[in-house]
């Protein structure tokens, strides 16, 4: 019988108290919108990062923090602006018109330089046709 219990490091990763040499590239993993809220006209998009902690820390000095930190930029339907989030929580969008939409999610460093991105495309149903 295997009595192995995962260590804290196994579950939450390396201690933020020590620099990590040769950090692996930051990754962004984005799921499609959850179907139940989408059917009701609400958009819930879950995401996670690897090799980067989401924190509300910005500026040049934060570039040297190890393990790496950053945040996300969220752009809806090619808007000329985006909003910034560092919570790591599900993205929730409400009030969009029925029809096709896309959400660009960008993983960015503390100076807002984009590291990687994912685009989520979906169609909101028309409640009048349900």
- Model confidence pLDDT, tens digit, residues 51-66: 999 999 999 988 888 8
Expressed as residue numbers, the domain containing 59 is 26-129
Q: What is the pTM of this model?
A: 0.83
15 within domain boundaries: no
Q: How many residues are there in the chain?
A: 130
Neighbours of 30 (CB within 10 A): 19
- Model confidence pLDDT, tens digit, residues 5-50: 888 888 877 666 666 778 889 999 999 999 999 999 999 999 999 9
5 within domain boundaries: no
Domain containing 103 — which CATH number? 2.60.40.10
78 within domain boundaries: yes
Mean pLDDT of 74-97: 97
3 within domain boundaries: no
7 within domain boundaries: no
Cα separation, 102 vs 1, in Å, equals: 49
In the chain, how many domains are there? Answer: 1
90 within domain boundaries: yes
What distance, in Å, lies between the first and last C-alpha atoms of the chain? 54
2 within domain boundaries: no
DSSP state letters, 34-103: PHHHHHTT-EEE-EEEES-EE-S--SGGGGG-SS-EEEEEEEETT-S--EEE-S-PPEEE--PPSEEEEE
57 within domain boundaries: yes
């Amino acid at each position: 019988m295997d009595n192995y219990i995962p260590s804290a490091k196994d579950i939450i990763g390396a201690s933020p108290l020590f620099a990590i040499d040769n950090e692996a590239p930051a990754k962004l993993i984005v799921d499609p919108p959850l179907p139940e809220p989408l059917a009701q006209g609400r958009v819930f998009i879950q995401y996670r990062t690897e090799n980067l902690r989401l924190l509300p820390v910005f500026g040049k000095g934060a570039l040297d923090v190890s393990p790496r930190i950053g945040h996300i930029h969220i752009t809806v339907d090619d808007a000329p602006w985006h909003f910034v989030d560092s919570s790591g929580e599900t993205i929730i969008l409400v009030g969009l018109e029925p029809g096709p939409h896309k959400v660009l999610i960008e993983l960015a460093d503390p100076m807002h330089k984009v590291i990687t991105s994912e685009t989520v495309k979906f169609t909101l149903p028309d409640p009048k046709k349900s």
